[in-house]
Amino acid sequence: MLAAERQALLLERLARDGKVVAKEIAAELGLSDDSVRRDLRELAAAGRCQRVYGGALPVSPALAQYAERTLVEPDSKDRVAARAARLIVPGSTVILDGGTTTLAVVHALPPTLTCTIITHSPTIAAALVPHEGVEVFLLGGRLFKHSAVTCGAAAVEAAQAITADLFLLGVTGVHPTAGLTTGDVEEAAMKRALAGRAADTFVLASAEKIGVASPYRVLPYAEIAGIITDTTADDPTLAELRDAGVSILAAGA
């Protein structure tokens, strides 16, 4: 079997099963483990899969550049955002992560809402300008242009001075074994810092983020209050998470 044929088969199994276990598929095809691992390395380098110990998982489409992500599952993001906006009560202090789903949350806020919103996203801060009753605090630091958020030591230090009732966290992958993941190590650290300053953290998970993984883990499921998603309840990923005790908030419910 040619390398291109093997890789096409690996991608087919990844789409069908949601994972590839290197030893299992090597045994099935009569190949060496090294051959399968080499194929997975090449696919990962091309952005076609996310390598993990022992195999690979589907890669998250949410790793695209910010402008491109606005075109991915916009209706799903709007449904998740509408449910998340209902968690923000008058008088509360809320941390909003960066990203296209949190931007949709801003658009879903009632125009008369009075609260305090803290964010490390200039895009989110600018979108809140028309909300006269919302006090906005923008955390400074190095601008990570891929996601249009501030990260790095200065941003993490600024986060240590805040306290909030709620953090709406954006991730690029929600997977039962890989966990809650994102594509940049400093962005992951910033998300952890923000989560550590809020009483409750809810994950915003539009459809394209369920069952996929990115390179860097953000938080364990034990440290979040729940996941907001519009993915159907019978989805295998959600079923496994629910069985593990993770709270799932259905968007549109």
Distance separating alpha carbons of residues 157 and 155, to the nearest angstrom: 5
Please give the CATH architecture assigned to the domain spanning 3-59. Answer: Orthogonal Bundle (1.10)
The pLDDT tens digits for 89-116 are 999 999 999 999 999 999 999 999 999 9
Is the alpha carbon torsion for 249, 62, 98, 199 positive or negative?
positive
Predicted confidence at residue 218, as pLDDT, reads 96
Residue with tokens 């550049």: 65
Q: For position 253, what pLDDT does the model report? A: 54
Phi/psi at 240 (5° precision): -65, -40
Domain ranges in the chain? Answer: 3-59, 66-250
Total-model pTM? 0.81
- pLDDT at position 137 is 97
Which residues of the chain are modeled with pLDDT < 70?
1, 62-73, 253
Bridge partner residues of 115 (DSSP): 134
Model pLDDT, residue 202? 98
- CATH code, residues 66-250: 3.40.50.10470
DSSP letter at 41 equals H
The pLDDT value recorded for residue 148 is: 86
| CA–CA separation, 149 and 141 (whole Å) | 9
